[in-house]
Amino acid sequence: MRGYPGGRVRTRIVSRGRYTVRVGGWRRRVLKGLYSLASTYLLICLVMFVAQGWLVFHPTSLPENEHERIAGLPEVETLSIDVGGDTLEGFFLAGAGRGPRPTVLYFAGNAQPVWRQVEAKRWVADMGFNLAFVSYRGYDRSTGDPSAAAITSDGLSIYDAVVSRPDVNADRIVTWGFSLGTGVATHVACSRPVAGVILMAPYDTLASVAAEQYPFLPVRALFRHEIDSVGCGADVLAPALILHGEDDSVIAIEHGKALADAWGGPARWVPLEGVGHNDVASHARVRPELTGFLEVLR
Protein backbone atom coordinates (compact mmCIF):
# COMPACT_ATOMS: atom_id res chain seq x y z
CA MET A 1 0.00 0.00 0.00
CA ARG A 2 1.32 3.44 -0.87
CA GLY A 3 0.22 7.05 -1.13
CA TYR A 4 -1.06 8.38 -4.46
CA PRO A 5 -1.49 11.91 -5.71
CA GLY A 6 -4.30 13.70 -3.91
CA GLY A 7 -3.45 11.98 -0.63
CA ARG A 8 -5.85 9.05 -1.27
CA VAL A 9 -5.08 5.50 -0.20
CA ARG A 10 -6.03 2.69 -2.51
CA THR A 11 -6.28 -1.05 -1.99
CA ARG A 12 -3.64 -3.21 -3.68
CA ILE A 13 -4.28 -6.90 -4.32
CA VAL A 14 -1.20 -9.11 -3.90
CA SER A 15 -1.20 -12.71 -5.14
CA ARG A 16 0.59 -15.41 -3.13
CA GLY A 17 0.22 -18.64 -5.06
CA ARG A 18 -3.34 -19.82 -4.70
CA TYR A 19 -4.19 -17.05 -2.21
CA THR A 20 -5.11 -13.44 -2.86
CA VAL A 21 -4.63 -10.95 -0.04
CA ARG A 22 -6.53 -7.66 -0.07
CA VAL A 23 -4.29 -5.04 1.51
CA GLY A 24 -6.12 -1.98 2.83
CA GLY A 25 -9.88 -1.46 3.28
CA TRP A 26 -9.84 -2.97 6.78
CA ARG A 27 -9.85 0.45 8.34
CA ARG A 28 -12.98 1.27 6.40
CA ARG A 29 -14.67 -1.92 7.59
CA VAL A 30 -13.71 -1.28 11.22
CA LEU A 31 -14.98 2.29 11.07
CA LYS A 32 -18.20 1.13 9.45
CA GLY A 33 -18.70 -1.47 12.20
CA LEU A 34 -18.03 1.07 14.93
CA TYR A 35 -20.41 3.53 13.33
CA SER A 36 -23.10 0.85 13.18
CA LEU A 37 -22.59 -0.05 16.85
CA ALA A 38 -22.65 3.60 17.90
CA SER A 39 -25.83 4.24 15.93
CA THR A 40 -27.52 1.22 17.49
CA TYR A 41 -26.47 2.29 21.00
CA LEU A 42 -27.73 5.83 20.48
CA LEU A 43 -31.02 4.45 19.15
CA ILE A 44 -31.41 2.31 22.28
CA CYS A 45 -30.69 5.37 24.45
CA LEU A 46 -33.30 7.35 22.52
CA VAL A 47 -35.90 4.61 23.00
CA MET A 48 -35.03 4.48 26.70
CA PHE A 49 -35.52 8.23 27.01
CA VAL A 50 -38.75 8.48 25.00
CA ALA A 51 -40.46 5.27 26.11
CA GLN A 52 -39.25 4.99 29.69
CA GLY A 53 -42.72 5.65 31.07
CA TRP A 54 -43.81 2.43 29.39
CA LEU A 55 -40.73 0.67 30.78
CA VAL A 56 -41.10 1.98 34.34
CA PHE A 57 -44.86 1.86 34.96
CA HIS A 58 -47.07 -1.20 34.51
CA PRO A 59 -50.70 -0.19 35.08
CA THR A 60 -53.19 -2.71 36.42
CA SER A 61 -56.85 -3.19 35.54
CA LEU A 62 -60.01 -3.72 37.56
CA PRO A 63 -62.75 -5.83 35.97
CA GLU A 64 -66.25 -4.43 36.41
CA ASN A 65 -67.51 -7.57 38.17
CA GLU A 66 -64.66 -7.37 40.70
CA HIS A 67 -65.34 -3.68 41.30
CA GLU A 68 -68.99 -4.42 42.06
CA ARG A 69 -68.08 -7.37 44.29
CA ILE A 70 -65.59 -5.41 46.41
CA ALA A 71 -67.84 -2.37 46.63
CA GLY A 72 -70.54 -4.65 48.03
CA LEU A 73 -68.39 -6.03 50.85
CA PRO A 74 -69.31 -5.09 54.43
CA GLU A 75 -67.69 -1.85 55.68
CA VAL A 76 -66.39 -0.99 52.17
CA GLU A 77 -67.25 2.16 50.25
CA THR A 78 -65.91 3.51 46.98
CA LEU A 79 -63.68 6.57 46.81
CA SER A 80 -63.40 9.07 43.96
CA ILE A 81 -60.82 11.86 44.18
CA ASP A 82 -60.44 14.66 41.63
CA VAL A 83 -56.86 15.51 40.70
CA GLY A 84 -57.10 18.39 38.28
CA GLY A 85 -59.03 16.87 35.42
CA ASP A 86 -58.32 13.24 36.22
CA THR A 87 -60.05 11.03 38.76
CA LEU A 88 -58.52 8.58 41.22
CA GLU A 89 -60.73 5.63 42.07
CA GLY A 90 -60.44 3.28 45.02
CA PHE A 91 -61.96 1.82 48.16
CA PHE A 92 -62.26 2.79 51.82
CA LEU A 93 -62.48 0.01 54.39
CA ALA A 94 -63.81 1.15 57.75
CA GLY A 95 -62.06 -0.19 60.83
CA ALA A 96 -63.69 -1.85 63.79
CA GLY A 97 -64.97 0.31 66.63
CA ARG A 98 -66.18 3.87 66.88
CA GLY A 99 -64.52 6.72 64.99
CA PRO A 100 -62.59 8.78 64.42
CA ARG A 101 -60.08 5.97 63.88
CA PRO A 102 -56.41 5.71 62.98
CA THR A 103 -56.08 5.18 59.23
CA VAL A 104 -53.68 3.41 56.88
CA LEU A 105 -53.07 4.74 53.38
CA TYR A 106 -51.87 1.84 51.25
CA PHE A 107 -49.74 2.56 48.16
CA ALA A 108 -49.41 -0.38 45.81
CA GLY A 109 -46.41 -1.70 43.97
CA ASN A 110 -45.96 -1.69 40.22
CA ALA A 111 -48.36 -4.15 38.58
CA GLN A 112 -49.91 -4.86 42.01
CA PRO A 113 -53.70 -4.47 41.78
CA VAL A 114 -54.44 -2.35 44.84
CA TRP A 115 -58.02 -3.59 44.92
CA ARG A 116 -56.83 -7.08 45.80
CA GLN A 117 -55.47 -5.68 49.06
CA VAL A 118 -58.90 -4.74 50.40
CA GLU A 119 -59.62 -8.28 51.55
CA ALA A 120 -55.98 -9.20 52.17
CA LYS A 121 -55.60 -6.35 54.69
CA ARG A 122 -58.93 -6.79 56.49
CA TRP A 123 -57.03 -8.00 59.55
CA VAL A 124 -55.74 -4.43 59.92
CA ALA A 125 -59.33 -3.15 59.96
CA ASP A 126 -60.08 -5.69 62.69
CA MET A 127 -57.41 -3.92 64.77
CA GLY A 128 -59.42 -0.71 64.54
CA PHE A 129 -57.74 0.98 61.57
CA ASN A 130 -59.49 2.42 58.54
CA LEU A 131 -57.73 1.61 55.28
CA ALA A 132 -57.73 3.53 52.00
CA PHE A 133 -56.80 1.73 48.78
CA VAL A 134 -56.71 4.19 45.89
CA SER A 135 -55.15 3.57 42.48
CA TYR A 136 -52.61 5.91 40.88
CA ARG A 137 -53.40 7.73 37.67
CA GLY A 138 -53.68 5.23 34.81
CA TYR A 139 -54.07 2.22 37.14
CA ASP A 140 -57.27 0.23 37.57
CA ARG A 141 -60.23 2.62 37.09
CA SER A 142 -58.27 5.83 37.67
CA THR A 143 -57.90 8.10 34.65
CA GLY A 144 -54.80 9.85 33.32
CA ASP A 145 -51.25 8.71 32.68
CA PRO A 146 -48.74 7.59 35.31
CA SER A 147 -45.43 9.34 35.91
CA ALA A 148 -43.22 9.90 38.94
CA ALA A 149 -44.61 13.41 39.38
CA ALA A 150 -48.19 12.17 38.91
CA ILE A 151 -48.14 9.30 41.39
CA THR A 152 -46.36 11.26 44.14
CA SER A 153 -48.88 14.06 43.65
CA ASP A 154 -51.65 11.43 43.77
CA GLY A 155 -50.36 10.30 47.14
CA LEU A 156 -50.78 13.80 48.56
CA SER A 157 -54.27 14.13 47.06
CA ILE A 158 -55.27 10.80 48.63
CA TYR A 159 -53.94 11.93 52.00
CA ASP A 160 -55.76 15.26 51.86
CA ALA A 161 -59.06 13.65 50.85
CA VAL A 162 -58.92 10.96 53.53
CA VAL A 163 -57.90 13.12 56.50
CA SER A 164 -60.88 15.40 55.86
CA ARG A 165 -63.31 12.57 56.70
CA PRO A 166 -65.05 12.73 60.09
CA ASP A 167 -64.34 9.04 60.78
CA VAL A 168 -60.56 9.54 60.40
CA ASN A 169 -58.21 10.60 63.19
CA ALA A 170 -55.90 13.00 61.34
CA ASP A 171 -53.25 12.60 64.06
CA ARG A 172 -52.98 8.86 63.45
CA ILE A 173 -52.24 8.45 59.75
CA VAL A 174 -49.93 5.63 58.64
CA THR A 175 -48.54 5.41 55.12
CA TRP A 176 -47.81 1.87 53.92
CA GLY A 177 -46.08 1.18 50.62
CA PHE A 178 -44.84 -1.83 48.72
CA SER A 179 -42.10 -1.64 46.06
CA LEU A 180 -42.93 1.32 43.78
CA GLY A 181 -45.43 2.50 46.38
CA THR A 182 -42.72 2.89 49.05
CA GLY A 183 -41.53 6.02 47.27
CA VAL A 184 -45.06 7.43 47.35
CA ALA A 185 -45.52 6.49 51.03
CA THR A 186 -42.21 8.18 51.87
CA HIS A 187 -43.01 11.26 49.80
CA VAL A 188 -46.34 11.70 51.59
CA ALA A 189 -44.67 11.28 55.01
CA CYS A 190 -42.11 13.89 53.98
CA SER A 191 -44.83 16.39 53.00
CA ARG A 192 -47.65 15.69 55.47
CA PRO A 193 -47.81 14.81 59.19
CA VAL A 194 -47.98 11.05 59.78
CA ALA A 195 -47.80 8.82 62.83
CA GLY A 196 -45.76 6.10 61.14
CA VAL A 197 -44.54 4.59 57.88
CA ILE A 198 -44.40 0.96 56.72
CA LEU A 199 -42.13 0.17 53.77
CA MET A 200 -41.86 -3.27 52.18
CA ALA A 201 -39.14 -3.84 49.56
CA PRO A 202 -38.27 -0.13 49.28
CA TYR A 203 -35.65 1.72 47.24
CA ASP A 204 -33.35 4.62 47.95
CA THR A 205 -33.87 6.23 44.54
CA LEU A 206 -35.81 4.91 41.58
CA ALA A 207 -32.95 5.82 39.24
CA SER A 208 -30.48 3.64 41.15
CA VAL A 209 -32.78 0.63 40.76
CA ALA A 210 -33.28 1.33 37.04
CA ALA A 211 -29.52 1.68 36.58
CA GLU A 212 -29.06 -1.86 37.90
CA GLN A 213 -31.67 -3.18 35.50
CA TYR A 214 -29.95 -1.55 32.50
CA PRO A 215 -26.23 -1.45 33.42
CA PHE A 216 -25.18 -0.92 29.79
CA LEU A 217 -27.07 2.40 29.51
CA PRO A 218 -26.43 5.85 31.06
CA VAL A 219 -29.70 5.57 32.95
CA ARG A 220 -29.05 8.36 35.43
CA ALA A 221 -28.52 10.84 32.60
CA LEU A 222 -31.64 9.66 30.75
CA PHE A 223 -34.02 9.08 33.66
CA ARG A 224 -37.10 11.33 33.82
CA HIS A 225 -39.12 9.59 36.56
CA GLU A 226 -37.00 9.94 39.64
CA ILE A 227 -38.46 9.36 43.09
CA ASP A 228 -35.85 10.21 45.72
CA SER A 229 -36.92 8.22 48.77
CA VAL A 230 -33.62 8.55 50.59
CA GLY A 231 -33.69 12.33 50.27
CA CYS A 232 -37.28 12.52 51.56
CA GLY A 233 -36.75 9.88 54.22
CA ALA A 234 -33.97 11.86 55.84
CA ASP A 235 -36.53 14.56 56.66
CA VAL A 236 -39.17 12.23 58.11
CA LEU A 237 -39.17 12.09 61.91
CA ALA A 238 -42.04 9.61 62.21
CA PRO A 239 -41.04 6.01 63.03
CA ALA A 240 -40.65 3.55 60.17
CA LEU A 241 -40.86 -0.21 59.85
CA ILE A 242 -38.76 -1.29 56.86
CA LEU A 243 -38.86 -4.89 55.65
CA HIS A 244 -36.84 -6.30 52.76
CA GLY A 245 -36.18 -9.77 51.36
CA GLU A 246 -32.53 -10.77 51.31
CA ASP A 247 -33.03 -12.53 47.96
CA ASP A 248 -34.88 -9.68 46.27
CA SER A 249 -33.81 -9.65 42.61
CA VAL A 250 -36.01 -6.69 41.60
CA ILE A 251 -34.91 -4.17 44.24
CA ALA A 252 -31.69 -5.36 45.86
CA ILE A 253 -31.71 -5.29 49.65
CA GLU A 254 -28.89 -2.74 49.66
CA HIS A 255 -31.37 -0.12 48.44
CA GLY A 256 -33.67 -0.73 51.37
CA LYS A 257 -30.79 -0.69 53.85
CA ALA A 258 -29.59 2.65 52.48
CA LEU A 259 -33.04 4.11 53.07
CA ALA A 260 -33.22 2.68 56.59
CA ASP A 261 -29.81 4.13 57.43
CA ALA A 262 -30.82 7.58 56.14
CA TRP A 263 -34.24 7.70 57.85
CA GLY A 264 -34.66 10.83 59.95
CA GLY A 265 -36.69 9.23 62.74
CA PRO A 266 -36.43 5.83 64.42
CA ALA A 267 -36.35 3.05 61.82
CA ARG A 268 -36.73 -0.65 62.49
CA TRP A 269 -34.83 -2.54 59.80
CA VAL A 270 -36.02 -6.13 59.21
CA PRO A 271 -34.11 -8.20 56.62
CA LEU A 272 -36.03 -11.34 55.66
CA GLU A 273 -33.99 -14.47 54.98
CA GLY A 274 -34.93 -16.58 51.97
CA VAL A 275 -37.46 -14.06 50.64
CA GLY A 276 -37.52 -12.39 47.24
CA HIS A 277 -39.59 -9.44 46.04
CA ASN A 278 -43.22 -10.37 45.48
CA ASP A 279 -43.31 -12.87 48.34
CA VAL A 280 -42.02 -10.48 51.01
CA ALA A 281 -45.40 -10.45 52.79
CA SER A 282 -45.39 -14.24 53.12
CA HIS A 283 -42.48 -14.46 55.56
CA ALA A 284 -43.44 -15.68 59.04
CA ARG A 285 -41.89 -12.62 60.69
CA VAL A 286 -43.90 -10.09 58.71
CA ARG A 287 -47.35 -10.25 60.34
CA PRO A 288 -46.00 -10.07 63.93
CA GLU A 289 -43.75 -7.14 62.94
CA LEU A 290 -46.66 -5.29 61.33
CA THR A 291 -49.02 -6.00 64.22
CA GLY A 292 -46.52 -4.82 66.81
CA PHE A 293 -45.77 -1.64 64.89
CA LEU A 294 -49.44 -0.78 64.34
CA GLU A 295 -50.43 -1.52 67.94
CA VAL A 296 -48.16 1.27 69.13
CA LEU A 297 -49.71 3.74 66.67
CA ARG A 298 -53.39 3.11 67.48
Residue at 31 is within a domain: yes
- Please state the domain count of the chain: 2
Tell me the range of 7-11, 12-16, 83-87 where mean pLDDT is highest. 83-87
Whether 181 and 97 map to the same domain: the answer is yes
Residues 20 and 72 in one domain: no
Same domain, 40 and 83: no
Same domain, yes or no: 36 and 177:
no
Cα distance between residue 108 and residue 217, in whole Å = 28
Alpha helices (H) in 51-179, listed in sequence order: 52-56, 64-71, 117-120, 122-126, 148-163
Q: Which domain holds residue 17?
A: 12-50
Secondary structure percentages of the chain, helix, strand, coil, to 5: 40, 25, 35
Give the SS3 label for residue 5. coil
Residue-wise pLDDT tens digits, 206-237: 999 888 877 766 677 777 789 999 999 999 99
**Whole-prediction pTM value?**
0.84
Are 16 and 95 found together in one domain?
no
Query: 38-61: per-residue pLDDT in tens?
Result: 767 666 666 666 667 667 899 999
Same domain, 231 and 261: yes
pLDDT tens readout for residues 266-284: 999 999 999 999 999 999 9
